[in-house]
């Protein structure tokens, strides 16, 4: 059995990846390392709790000694590092938290992997990053793996810093590390502060849907399961020191996304034209430092490793909407105190230690 750590495994992308890896690789022990912030929800992984190859460690990656205990408890063969503060608005309000988790936390992991490496163990370290490190594009062109870094928010600056540390540890210490920079993800289990789940949640509850600025900011959208498959591919097939951009080939403006969700939900909820959820849309002052456009050139991962996204945006959005409509209790729980109580209960379990 190989022991693979997934940091941030109780979050949105992390919980989808944990489920994907636990079910696909019966010869892997998957160790979920998560400190359970507001977006780290163990209700996301209820179906994993009885799996014999799933383990949970309630650890903050910014706590070096606690993290070291995980390395001592398990013989770690690989790490997929997803744990991060990721909401741009929160980074503007409280940037220090983003430095602690995204920079110091990544540094702590690299130091422990370096110690592992120096002791003769080959531990693969896969750092999952974002396309936001590249800054803002104009109306044409795409981010490639050689695009100059130009972060414009405390969040993207903290992720850029962590990328540089990973690259430096490969060059300086010879670590078996790789980096992936992905576009915006969407899908089941995403905390309703991001555009797509927030729009769906607000339509369900009849609340206003706020759009920053003119709503014409463009993002490339990637369905979360496509991202999980890309991570799996890079983790297992790429050479050390490589960087791959992961995108969905789905550029949409924010207002077009919201309108599409409204139209789809109006149809599913049998809303008449005069009751259309589009009536909930309101435009608000733009976010500080709001990047205009992101778009990924994912030809490198396609040409070298054979990965391509399988989900169209239309199919992915409909599947996502269906999931949220079928799991309205999940939304209610994570926006109340119930998930905090559940997290507290589960962290007291002796995880087969």
Q: What pLDDT sits at residue 339?
A: 47
Residue 63 domain-assigned (yes or no) = yes
Residue 325 domain-assigned (yes or no) = no
- Token look-up 């079910």 returns 23
| Total domains present in the chain | 1
From 132, 163, 220, 226, active-site residue: 132
Whole-angstrom distance, CA of residue 123 vs CA of residue 139:
41
Residue 81 domain-assigned (yes or no) = yes
Residue 319 domain-assigned (yes or no) = no
Residue 272 domain-assigned (yes or no) = no
Whole-angstrom distance, CA of residue 246 vs CA of residue 308:
9
From 20, 134, 142, 155, active-site residue: 155
CA distances from 203 to 124, 276, 315 (A): 43, 10, 19
Parent domain of 56: 2-188+223-248+290-311+340-347
Write the CATH number for 105.
3.40.50.720
Residue 32 domain-assigned (yes or no) = yes
Residue 107 domain-assigned (yes or no) = yes
Phi, psi of 80 (to 5 degrees): -110, 110
Question: Is the C-alpha dihedral spanning 58, 35, 226, 123 positive or negative?
Answer: negative
From 60, 131, 242, 251, active-site residue: 131
Is 131 considered catalytic here?
Answer: yes
- For the chain, 353 residues long, give each residue's pLDDT as a single digit of tens: 999 999 999 999 999 999 999 999 999 999 999 998 777 788 899 999 999 999 999 999 999 999 999 999 999 999 999 999 887 888 888 999 999 999 999 999 999 999 988 888 899 999 999 999 999 998 889 999 999 999 999 999 999 999 999 999 999 999 999 999 999 999 999 988 889 999 999 999 899 999 999 999 999 999 999 999 999 999 999 999 999 999 998 999 999 999 999 999 999 998 877 789 999 999 999 888 788 899 999 999 999 999 999 999 999 999 999 999 999 888 887 766 554 554 455 455 554 44
Q: What pLDDT sits at residue 305?
A: 98
Residue 352 domain-assigned (yes or no) = no
Cβ atoms of residues 301 and 11 within 8 Å:
no
Q: What pLDDT sits at residue 340?
A: 53
Cβ atoms of residues 34 and 40 within 8 Å:
yes
Is 339 considered catalytic here?
Answer: no
């Amino acid at each position: 059995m190989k022991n693979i750590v997934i940091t941030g495994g109780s979050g949105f992308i992390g919980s989808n990846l944990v489920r994907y890896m636990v079910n696909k690789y019966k010869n892997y022990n998957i160790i979920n390392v998560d400190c359970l912030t507001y977006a780290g929800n163990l209700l996301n992984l209820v179906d994993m709790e009885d799996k014999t190859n799933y383990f949970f460690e309630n650890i903050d990656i910014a706590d070096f000694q606690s993290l070291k205990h995980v390395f001592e408890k398990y013989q770690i063969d690989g790490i997929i590092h997803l744990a991060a503060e990721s909401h741009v608005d929160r980074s503007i309000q409280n940037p220090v938290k983003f430095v602690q988790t995204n920079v110091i936390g990544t540094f702590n992991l690299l130091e422990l992997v370096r110690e592992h490496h120096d002791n003769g163990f080959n531990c693969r370290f896969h750092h999952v990053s974002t396309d936001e490190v590249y800054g803002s594009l104009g109306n044409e062109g795409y981010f490639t793996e050689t695009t100059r870094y130009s972060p414009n928010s405390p969040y993207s600056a903290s992720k850029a810093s962590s990328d540089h540390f990973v690259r430096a540890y490969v060059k300086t210490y010879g670590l078996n590390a790789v980096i992936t920079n992905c576009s915006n993800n969407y899908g089941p289990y995403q905390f309703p502060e991001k555009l797509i789940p927030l729009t769906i949640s607000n339509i369900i509850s009849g609340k206003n849907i706020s759009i920053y600025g003119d709503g014409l900011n463009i993002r490339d959208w990637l369905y979360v399961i496509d991202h999980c498959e890309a991570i799996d591919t890079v983790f297992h097939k790429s050479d050390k020191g490589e960087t791959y951009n992961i995108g969905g080939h789905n550029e949409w403006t924010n207002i077009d996304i919201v309108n599409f969700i409204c139209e789809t939900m109006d149809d599913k909820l049998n809303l008449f034209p005069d009751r259309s959820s589009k009536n909930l849309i309101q435009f608000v002052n733009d976010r500080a430092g709001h990047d205009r456009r992101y778009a990924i050139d994912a030809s490198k991962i396609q040409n070298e490793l054979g990965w391509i996204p399988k989900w169209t945006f239309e199919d992915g959005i409909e599947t996502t909407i269906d999931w949220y409509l079928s799991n309205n209790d999940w939304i209610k729980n994570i926006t109340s105190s119930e998930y905090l109580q559940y997290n507290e209960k589960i962290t007291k379990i002796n995880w087969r230690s």
